[in-house]
């Protein structure tokens, strides 16, 4: 079951990045924490993060971590803008829409008859250490490469209360 969810998550992310943002990703396998988090001196030290909560048959959240520079390019592609014509708020809007598309498509693929309620997505900027601190051992993490950038998608399911 977990592997089926992971496979659906990966295929959903690949499809949305390619069709909606003209951004091609390669899934990464077996990366360590050190591989995933650039040094403080790197360009990718600023992460654009989009978070969305879901409730229904299952509840939890989905987070997408994008290097800021990749987020700018994706917003330009999504909006059809020329290079350097996108504003910061448009990049944040794109990230929120991305989280909405990935989460909605993921759950509609996993359970075609189920009902899942999505909260309004939020976006924020964080650094490497904050990103590393947000990912827990129980989270489902999928990482992707886009040229020299790493995209991380994290699916967190809330614990089911015991009676």
The tens digit of pLDDT for each residue in 96-138 reads: 999 999 999 999 999 888 889 999 999 999 998 899 899 999 9
pLDDT at residue 50 greater than cutoff 70: yes
pLDDT score, position 1: 79
CATH number for the 2-32+45-157 domain, one of 3.40.1550.10, 3.40.50.300, 1.10.760.10, 3.30.420.40? 3.40.1550.10
CA 90-119-74 angle, to 5 degrees, is: 25
Nearest to 46 by CA among 6, 103, 95: 95
* Domain limits, the chain: 2-32+45-157
Cα distance between residue 127 and residue 40, in whole Å: 8
> How far is C-alpha 5 from the chain's CA centre?
15
- Spatial CB neighbours of 158, under 8 Å, sequence gap ≥ 6: 58, 59, 60
């Amino acid at each position: 079951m977990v592997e089926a969810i992971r496979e659906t998550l990966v295929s959903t992310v690949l499809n949305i990045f390619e069709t909606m943002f003209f951004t091609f990703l390669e899934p990464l396998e077996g990366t360590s924490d050190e591989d995933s988090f650039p040094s403080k001196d790197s360009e990718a030290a600023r992460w654009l993060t989009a978070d969305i909560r879901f409730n229904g048959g299952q509840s939890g959240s989905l987070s997408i971590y994008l290097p800021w520079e990749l987020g700018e390019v994706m917003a330009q592609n999504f909006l059809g803008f020329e290079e350097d014509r996108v504003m910061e708020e448009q990049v944040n809007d794109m990230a929120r829409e991305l989280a909405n598309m990935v989460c909605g498509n993921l759950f509609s693929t996993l359970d075609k008859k189920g009902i899942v309620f999505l909260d309004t997505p939020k976006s924020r900027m964080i650094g490497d250490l904050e990103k590393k601190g947000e990912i827990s051992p129980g989270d489902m993490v999928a990482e992707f490469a886009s040229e020299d950038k790493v995209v991380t998608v994290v699916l967190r399911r809330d614990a089911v209360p015991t009676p």
